[in-house]
Amino acid sequence: MFKTLATMGLAAGILTAGFSAALAQDKQPVRIGWAAWSDAEFVTKLAAKLIKDELGQEVELIQTDVAPLYQGVSRGDLDAMMMAWLPETHADYYAKVKDKVTTLGTVYDGAKLGWVVPKYVPEDAISSIEDLKKDDVKEKLKGRIEGIDPGAGLTRLSEKAVKDYDLDGYKLQISSEAGMLTMVDRAIRKKEWFVATSWSPHWMFGKYELRYIADPWTSLGEAEHVDVVARKGFEEDNPEVAGFLSRMKLPIADLEAAMFDAQETSYEKAVDAYIADHPDQIKAWLDAEEG
Cα–Cα distance measured from residue 110 to residue 229, given in angstroms and rounded to the nearest whole number: 18
Specify whether 117 is located in the same domain as 177.
Answer: yes
Whether the predicted pLDDT of 6 surpasses 70: no
- pLDDT tens for each residue of 72-108: 999 999 999 999 999 988 999 999 999 999 999 999 9
Specify whether 192 is located in the same domain as 262.
Answer: no
| Average pLDDT of span 123-134 | 98
* CATH number of the domain to which 52 belongs: 3.40.190.10
Domain that holds residue 165: 112-212
Specify whether 194 is located in the same domain as 173.
Answer: yes
Confidence of residue 27 (pLDDT cuts 50, 70, 90): confident
Task: Identify whether 1 is part of a domain.
Answer: no
Specify whether 244 is located in the same domain as 206.
Answer: no
Cβ(275)–Cβ(54) below 8 Å: no
Specify whether 88 is located in the same domain as 59.
Answer: yes
Task: Identify whether 170 is part of a domain.
Answer: yes
Whether the predicted pLDDT of 63 surpasses 60: yes
Q: Which amino acid is at 197?
A: T
Task: Identify whether 217 is part of a domain.
Answer: no
Task: Identify whether 218 is part of a domain.
Answer: no
Task: Identify whether 92 is part of a domain.
Answer: yes
- pLDDT tens for each residue of 209-230: 999 999 999 999 989 999 999 9
* Percent of the chain at pLDDT exceeding 70: 90
Cα–Cα distance measured from residue 148 to residue 155, given in angstroms and rounded to the nearest whole number: 7
Whether the predicted pLDDT of 208 surpasses 90: yes
Which of 178, 212, 246 marks a domain boundary? Answer: 212
Helix axes of 279-286 and 267-277: crossing angle, nearest 10 degrees = 90
Specify whether 232 is located in the same domain as 250.
Answer: yes
| Average pLDDT of span 201-213 | 94
- Give the pLDDT of residue 20: 39
| Average pLDDT of span 246-269 | 95
Specify whether 121 is located in the same domain as 174.
Answer: yes
Specify whether 118 is located in the same domain as 88.
Answer: no
Which of 163, 189, 212 marks a domain boundary? Answer: 212
- Give the pLDDT of residue 290: 53
| Rg of the chain taking only CA atoms, in angstroms | 23
Task: Identify whether 117 is part of a domain.
Answer: yes
Which of 212, 239, 263 marks a domain boundary? Answer: 212
Specify whether 119 is located in the same domain as 198.
Answer: yes
Confidence of residue 137 (pLDDT cuts 50, 70, 90): very high
| Average pLDDT of span 188-203 | 96
- Give the pLDDT of residue 26: 56
Query: Which has more confidence, 5 or 45?
Result: 45
Specify whether 173 is located in the same domain as 186.
Answer: yes
pTM of the model: 0.80
Number of domains in the chain: 2
Residue 277: CB partners within 8 Å, gap ≥ 6? none
Specify whether 118 is located in the same domain as 205.
Answer: yes
Cα–Cα distance measured from residue 132 to residue 278, given in angstroms and rounded to the nearest whole number: 43
Whether the predicted pLDDT of 21 surpasses 70: no
Whether the predicted pLDDT of 169 surpasses 70: yes
Task: Identify whether 83 is part of a domain.
Answer: yes
Q: Kindly report whether the peptide bond that precedes residue 87 is cis, defined as omega within 30 degrees of 0.
A: yes
Cα–Cα distance measured from residue 254 to residue 120, given in angstroms and rounded to the nearest whole number: 26
Task: Identify whether 277 is part of a domain.
Answer: yes
Specify whether 116 is located in the same domain as 157.
Answer: yes
Cβ(233)–Cβ(109) below 8 Å: no
Q: Please count the other Cβ atoms lying within 10 Å of the Cβ belonging to residue 72.
A: 20
* CATH number of the domain to which 117 belongs: 3.40.190.100
Cα–Cα distance measured from residue 250 to residue 141, given in angstroms and rounded to the nearest whole number: 36
Whether the predicted pLDDT of 13 surpasses 80: no
Confidence of residue 186 (pLDDT cuts 50, 70, 90): very high
- Give the pLDDT of residue 151: 85
Whether the predicted pLDDT of 291 surpasses 80: no
